[in-house]
A and B are shown apart, each in its own frame.
Chain A
């Protein structure tokens, strides 16, 4: 057991190294010299040379990579070219809204999607099931920002019951204003997630309901509802939890867009501003940061399998 956990934790190292290598190479090998990009269209050759030196771009690529990884291990994600601040500091300043939006979204999505998917599976083929499936396929088809604007148009501009944009910190302005402002972004971002989880829950529960041990439970005289709750749900959990983990990547992409639509000063906005400013250390640092979060969450999910299913012992 401990051995499995150790092995699984260690196995994230090569993946993290690979991600670091990808991100590093992507920025170094991409067509176009970062130095001249940073220097801008009107820079002189001297300006470019100075920036090259400053970024250490004249050194051999292996040296550059090792230096960069060495810094990474010490928790240094680099320094912003324009503000001169460490990327970690910038992330620290912007992380709160992003984390909270992600959390409210996951909680809301799971709370809505799992019961929805379960009921759809339990009544497979019924009208309710079809409505859930229609919702789910539509949820995959509407771009998240279009959905955001539709919700703003309906609830903020027409009904005027929720604010159009903005973010209020629960730590500074209090929990009420926070909820008031986070509701629309959360719902917007949740839709695709709900679609994903509800679909997987439904599929997984339907599959489990065909299993022999469900028949055994019926042979015992157990009621259908208890069969669903006690025998089916826990067996159906592993694929659902897995899809939540995979969905984290979707969530991260969605956060960037949602923050942009609702004008939330989070990490997504930081990325977009950095892209516009071509501030490469920030882009690099943020991609790494998000990737490591994804790897960490999926590590946790893998480890949670052992709690969900006693057969999984390594």
Chain B
């Protein structure tokens, strides 16, 4: 029986938006005891659908103009605010992407769960507390009596999301809406939270509407799938149908763009050693004036070697130290000790003036395409900045920039435009062109495709691999995403809590991981379980 039925829902956007409707003619349903995944790229309207069901969509910007939403037969679009408030929490509940910001930082987590009972029940304070602790135990939080009194910032990301789940499920609602609940979490934590949601859903027979952009997650958790594109549902069916035999070309393209966990055959790199680090250490904080200063070992004794024409991947979760290594190598931060050898010369402790000649040999592409380019300068100005610093005349630098635009697949009139006129993927191409303009020997890609939608991600990955080969670059590829790493890296280095736990050829590491942490990481990658 359907818990939730959405029929022909159309939600209008304000006139200033780039399209008339946020979602158009959406028809879907969620049965009791099943998980419906709504999958789509950014801007597909999947979140608007979820918020419209909850009645939490911004009423000034988003107006439903057609269709119905019914929860257990009750029309939600015509329900009063008061009625909707009662339904929220009792019959439908929601968990969000970012558990840190979704919890009130100044209230104890136990009280925040208890608020649900305070709003919807007449239980006494002590009865509420007992129920909260039971709910916390239900989501496998350790020592609930003690954690009841914690504040959100004292918990880990996974624990916070468990608190959110406990909160949502206290009153045993018939429908749970999960909006990208694992996107902000590390891959091992993500695997645990996915398992928890699935277990509880089976146990309580709830209907779950699960919003995600990640086909790996879909494979992991969905019973049925709806694929959205530009506000419309393009395909809907059971997980086996949609993932196994997608009918819509867009779905086919999306699924094809998901990188495989199986590394392709790659020839052994034979180039000369371009970059080497020896016992690289970065520690933050030091003994304070009054002792007891906390010291964080962000990177410990890191040894790495990258040859020309080769890609070395550094893989790890947040806080593993992978970006610290990249930033040390770039000398954007000063390493605490150890050597960084570029063409045999140690740059680890050179002062800025001595360092400058070496800067051109090593370039970086950052994660966030929206902050990597100065919004006030044209693309051309950004690209020629480096070469002109090193004495190239402006006309020649411009000519080189125009060449590079072709290399990265953009037209050369892009040089006269400002960054805001480009999409995220295009900006990442511009950043790659900017790096190449310096004619570097080494290119660092620091989560360079992580902020991109999956279809764009595949194109930028291809571009990176292409320029690596074409310019015989040594590439250091920093990522948290094992699928991406599998596709582009010749060798990978796995880091955990500042330490390198394993290094080896990609195919070898994926096939036969030696370290327990590597095994845990590979096992946690979504979509590697049964059903894929």
Contact = CB atoms under 8 A, between A and B. Distances in A.
A221 interface: yes
A215 interface: yes
B422 interface: no
Given A221-B120, A235-B105, A212 B98 contact: yes
A215 B96 contact: yes
- Chain B interface mostly helix, strand, loop or mixed? helix
B88 interface: yes
A212 B120 contact: no
A93 interface: no
Interface residues of B, number: 31
B86 A221 contact: yes
Contact of B56 (A219, A223, A308, A311): A219
B151 interface: yes
A232 to B, nearest CB: 9
Nearest to B108: A310
B285 to A, nearest CB: 13
A236 to B, nearest CB: 10
A311 B167 contact: no
Given A212-B98, A310-B151, A311-B153, A219 B104 contact: no
B105 A215 contact: no
Contacts of A85: none
B379 to A, nearest CB: 32
Interface string A1-26: 00100010000000000000000000
Contact of A216 (B85, B102, B106, B119): B102
Given A215-B56, A220-B89, A235-B106, A310 B153 contact: yes
B416 interface: no
B54 interface: yes
Nearest to A310: B151
Nearest to B88: A221
Contacts of A216: 96, 102-104, 164, 167
Contacts of B104: 213, 216-217, 231, 235
B206 to A, nearest CB: 16
Interface in A188-232: 211-213, 215-223, 230-231
A220 B107 CA distance: 15
B86 to A, nearest CB: 6
Most buried by B among A7, A216, A222, A308: A216
A234 interface: yes
Contacts of A309: 105-106
A221 B104 CA distance: 15
Contacts of B345: none
B102 A221 contact: no
Contacts of A7: 290
B101 interface: yes
Contacts of A218: 56, 88
A220 B115 contact: yes
A311 B54 contact: no
B214 interface: no
A193 to B, nearest CB: 26
A213 B99 CA distance: 9
Contacts of B90: 221
B93 interface: yes
Contacts of A215: 56, 96, 102
A212 B85 contact: no
Interface of A: 3, 7, 211-213, 215-223, 230-231, 234-235, 308-311
Interface of B: 54, 56, 84-90, 93-94, 96, 98, 101-107, 115-116, 119-120, 151, 153, 164, 167-168, 290, 292
Given A219-B168, A220-B115, 4 more contacts: A216-B96, A218-B88, A220-B93, A221-B120
6 contacts: A7-B290, A215-B56, A217-B115, A218-B88, A221-B120, A231-B107
Q: What are the 3 A-B residue pairs with the smallest beta carbon separation, nearest first?
A: A212-B101, A221-B88, A221-B89
